[in-house]
Structure 1
Amino acid sequence: MTTSLPEYLEEDNLSEECKKLISILPKEKGWVRSVYNYQGFWTSTKFLQGVIACQQQFQARDSDIILVTSPKSGSTWLKSLLFALVNRVKHPIFVPNHPLLVENPHVLVPFLEHTLYVDGQVIDFSTNTSPRLLATHVPFASLPESVHDSKTKLIYLCRNPRDTFISMWHFANNLLLHHKDTNSIEEMFDLFCKGVSLYGPFWNHVLDYWKQSIQNPNKILFLMYEEIKKKPKIQLKRLAKFLECPFSIEEENSRVVDEILKMCSFENLRNLEVNTNGKFSTGEPYKVFFRRGEIGDWKNYFTVEMIDKLNHIIEEKFQGSGLKFLYV
């Protein structure tokens, strides 16, 4: 274990407002660092400052497109698909220097609460050209008021809870590796079942967006990770239709849909030079966002007891919602 942590594991530079707030918030051991319960969900102090900045200062536009996920639900993959889809005129898919080939998807489609508040400075998104492609992990009720009040379109990506948990566990341990002790799967599973995970409880996060997508289908599109994996062309065309930029017959005949899926495939993205060796300014390596991306990896880790426990919780939480998860 080293004594010097990388910047992405540090929690320095907290504002006085944040220090006062966390002193009265419920606290729990987190997956990477301590987490605090703010407005009914768990987050670290580093991200809490970004959430507050978003709520107080972000002004949504009617043309904005925001991708929403619970952490480790396929954000990186869908960010790339979204960027390629929306920018296919500005950045034709067939050109060799496409932005997705030289830059990480998280840079091209930034997280509001992770990048809006940097070293005490609020980043100005107002000069970005429309449509602005943004992302967030923030629960529905805690989104900035301007997002609720505008015609901003929200795309919610949901992944089954078993694979989501395994992906989160690996991600957290990869960040901790070489800097401090990693977390056991048993300990993290207990926290997950208690609802203690970044922006969790998982079921609250998913259910709120699921219900809102039913009530307001023109504003929120609810996508399932497993359905995109199984029928990518159908789901990509569904996404294009929702964003009011459907593929033309000419585009389909010239295999634009196929080429977007090929370029944005998990395997292609993972093997790109930028994602193999690149890093964020904080030192966080891009490669930690690319592990397997498969359905059913949980089978390599879950015990029968873990399956039974999580099944019981999911059945209780999602009963009557109409939402079903695909595990294989």
Structure 2
Amino acid sequence: MVERRRYRTVVSDSALWARFRFRDGDIVISTPPKCGTTWMQMLCALLVFDTADLPRPLTEISPWVDATTYDTEAILAGLEGQRHRRFVKTHTPLDGLPSEAGVTYVCVGRDPRDAMLSFEHAVANIDPVAIAAGGLDQHTGPPPSEDPLERFRVWADAEFTPESDWFGVSLANLVHHVRTFWDHRDEPQVALFHYADLKADLPGQLARLADALSIDVPLQRLGELADAATFEGMRNRADELAPGVDAKLWRSNKDFFRAGTSGQWRDLLDAATLDHYRRRVAELAPPDLVEWLHTGSP
């Protein structure tokens, strides 16, 4: 039996997966934070239900299984009662998840620099009341620098940490997460996508996803469904699609879908910081993975 790595942060604990009873056909969406988790949940919902009119808010249909900030018993009971094909969310890498026959594991990668900036914007959008209520203000590390370039360097230089008293967000953790999928990307139960590819050709990537999930959808229908998953379309439905709306997590639900663009890091990083980043990421991943992380499919 392969021993799974345990991942713990202030908001999650992969040990909770031991309480989840899998079914044949289940879909596990496992992404690093701010790499397109909600987007992939929406794409799975469109394929599973064959409609953009979802029966309930997305976070209720596709909950975060190993989150510690929600009622685990209620989540598991809700999933047990679902009769449609189930698709669930996690930020746990593949080596921390149970390996189950008949389950498809889906990951989305993103340019780490964009993911880092997107995470900073997300943290700034968390309502202070929700931070206090969830105990997220109990971080014991030093306060973050007011200099965004210094915060970027700290994020880039942090070591890989499967257990963290904060969110566990760092360049090393992101690369490790994607690499657990990259190393198994040719296996039939593993499906690896890239944020840039979703941006460039959403209908084509939705077709890829349908193939990975063995869901037969006519080409014209794929285009119609993809129209419901554009960034602007999802932003306009933020109150039913953003995670944490039930807990009033965000100052603005719409701002959870802030921009959805790539390359925003160019406005922040100077030449020295960018050179430092390139050296660091080369230490963490082989050249083919580094290239894919920054560009997506050839």
Q: Under TM normalisation by the shorter chain, which class is it?
A: 0.7 to 0.9
List per-residue Cα deviations over 1:128-180 (Å, max 9, x = no partner). 2141111111111211x3xx032200111111101011101111122266878
Q: How does 1:5-24 map to 2 (within 5 A)?
A: none
- Shift in CA distance, 171/256, structure 1 to aligned 2, threshold 3 Å: same
Structure 2 partner of 1:70: 32
For the structure 1 residues 175 and 327, does the alpha-carbon distance in structure 2 shift closer, same or farther, using more than 3 Å as the test? farther
CA contact (8 A) 2:175 2:284 kept: yes
Map residues 175-186 of structure 1 onto 2, 5 A cutoff. Answer: 175=126, 184=146, 185-186=148-149
CA contact (8 A) 2:36 2:108 kept: yes
Write out aligned runs for 1:1-328 (5 A): 39=5, 41=7, 43-44=9-10, 46-48=11-13, 51-54=14-17, 56-88=18-50, 92-93=51-52, 98-99=53-54, 104-114=57-67, 117-118=70-71, 123-124=76-77, 125-143=79-97, 145=98, 148-175=99-126, 184=146, 185-193=148-156, 194-195=158-159, 198=168, 201-214=173-186, 216=187, 218-248=188-218, 252=219, 255-272=220-237, 274=239, 280-285=245-250, 286-322=253-289, 324=291, 325-326=293-294
Q: Percent identity?
A: 21
Is contact 1:210–1:222 with CA below 8 Å preserved after alignment?
yes
Q: What is the distance in 2 between the residues matched to 1:192 and 1:42?
A: 18
TM-superposed deviation, 1:303 = 2.2
* Equivalent-residue separation in structure 2 for 1:276 and 1:222 (angstroms): 22
Contact 2:108 2:195 (8 Å CA) reproduced: yes
Q: 1:119 to 1:74 in 2, by over 3 A?
A: closer
SS in structure 2 opposite 1:71?
coil
CA contact (8 A) 2:28 2:105 kept: yes
Supply the distance in 2 between the matched residues of 1:161 and 1:213 (Cα, whole angstroms): 19
Provide the secondary structure at the position in 1 that maps to 2:185. Answer: helix
If the length of structure 2 is used for normalisation, what is the TM-score?
Answer: 0.78
Deviation of the 1:258 alpha carbon: 2.0
Query: Within 1, Cα distance between the matches of 2:69 and 2:243?
Result: 21
CA distance in 2 between partners of 1:165 and 1:283 (Å): 23
Greater Rg by CA: 1
Deviation at 1:236, TM superposition (A): 1.1
In 2, Cα distance between equivalents of 1:284 and 1:293: 19
Segment drifting more, 202-211 vs 107-116: 107-116
Cα deviation per residue 1:14-67 (whole Å; 9 max; x = unaligned)?
A: xxxxxxxxxxxxxxxxxxxxxxxx9475611x423xx3222x311212210111
Partners of 1:61 and 1:136 in 2: how far apart?
17
**Residue-by-residue CA offset, 1:165-201 (whole Å, 9 max, x unaligned):** 1101111122266878986324532342214653651
Alpha-carbon distance, 1:321 to partner: 4.6
Please, which moves more after superposition, 171-180 or 266-275?
A: 171-180
Q: Unaligned 5+ residue runs, structure 1?
A: 1-37
* Aligned-partner Cα distance in 2 for 1:119–1:126: 12
Task: State the 1:288 CA deviation.
Answer: 4.2
Q: Is the 8 A contact 1:111 1:136 kept in 2?
A: yes
C-alpha separation between the residues in 1 aligned to 2:182 and 2:48? 24
Checking the alignment, whether the CA contact within 8 Å between 2:65 and 2:72 is kept in structure 1 is no
Residue range with higher mean Cα deviation, 274-283 or 185-194: 274-283
Distance 1:126 1:78, change over 3 A: same
